[in-house]
Amino acid sequence: MSTHIEAKAGEIAESVLLPGDPLRAKYIAETFLEGAVCYNNVRGMLGYTGTYKGTRVSIQGTGMGMPSASIYIHELINNYGAQNLVRIGTCGAIQSDVKIRDVIIGQAAATDSAIIRNNFPGYDFPQIGNFDLIKKSYEIGTAKGLHLHVGNVLSSDIFYTEDNTIVTKLGKHGVLAVEMETAVLYYLAAKFGVRGLSLLTVSDHLITGEQTTALERQTTFNDMIEVALETVTG
């Protein structure tokens, strides 16, 4: 048991998928896992362990934003021994050739958050995904016929803003999309010597204004989920 997760020792698998939305964790456990057992309901931040094609895997909600996600990621690694942590999130696209419902592999993450920067005054620490997981997820997604995008994403502390100047500028520097957790996952994976990967489905488009519904965000995006499950269990 840790401060925010009530699982007993051994109840969480070495590979953990990390949706921001705890109800997405429930949907994935019920839809994709065999024998799924809920191990966490503290604060309603649901966590499940079951098997996918015979291999144990856990799904843990992280909440929205880096302060919340960092708590779950820290405890999963340090209290439960998680080794492979794969975010499965939604994002807003900031490139015209990245379409709604496309899947992005976050190769690296820019951030406006002070969480990482405060640890290295005067330096910029590059938040990068694990190469083996990036390569494997790319191969699995490509074999499924998915049109994947691989590149930089922006992990922001801010969802609502009246000034998109910097986000637009980052788009001009090749950043594919904006979301709120990848940078801290990659930072903590580096800090504790484990593997981190971020897969993102485009839920809305900051250029075209297209959006998916809240229900779609909670319960669909199966392509990304299958790529994540196969990456950590195959």
Ligand X SMILES: O=P(O)(O)O[C@H]1O[C@H](CO)[C@@H](O)[C@H]1O
Binding residues for a purine D-ribonucleoside: 4, 179-181, 203-204
Tell me which of 21, 132, 157, 204 is the catalytic residue.
Answer: 204
Q: Which residues bind ligand X (CB under 6 A)?
A: 19-21, 64, 89-90, 159, 179-181, 217
- Which residues, including other chains, have CB under 8 Å from residue 228's CB and lie 6 or more apart? 17, 86, 88, 137, 197, 199
Instruction: Produce one character per residue of 104-131: b if its CB has 16 or more CB atoms within 10 Å, e if not.
Output: bbbbbbbbebebbeeeeeeeeeebbbbe
- Binds ligand URA (CB under 6 A): choice among 116, 203, 223, 228: 203
Binding residues for phosphate: 20, 24, 43, 87-90
- Selected range binding ligand URA among 112-120, 125-133, 176-184, 185-193, rule: CB under 6 A: 176-184
Q: Minimum distance from CB of 24 to ligand URA (Å)? A: 13
204 touches ligand URA (CB under 6 A)? yes
Which amino acid is present at 46? L
Q: Minimum distance from CB of 154 to ligand X (Å)? A: 10
With CB cut-offs between 5 and 8 Å by kind, which of ligand X, ligand URA, none does residue 19 bind? ligand X
If the CB atoms of residues 60 and 156 are measured against ligand URA, the closer one turns out to be 156
Phi-psi domain of 121 (left: phi exceeds 0; alpha: psi -120 through 50; beta: other): beta
DSSP 102-148: -EEEEEEEEE--HHHHTTSTT----EE--HHHHHHHHHHHHHTT--E
If the CB atoms of residues 49 and 156 are measured against ligand URA, the closer one turns out to be 156
211 touches ligand URA (CB under 6 A)? no
Is 132 annotated in the active site?
no
Q: Minimum distance from CB of 6 to ligand X (Å)? A: 22
Q: What amino acid positions are annotated as catalytic residues?
A: 204
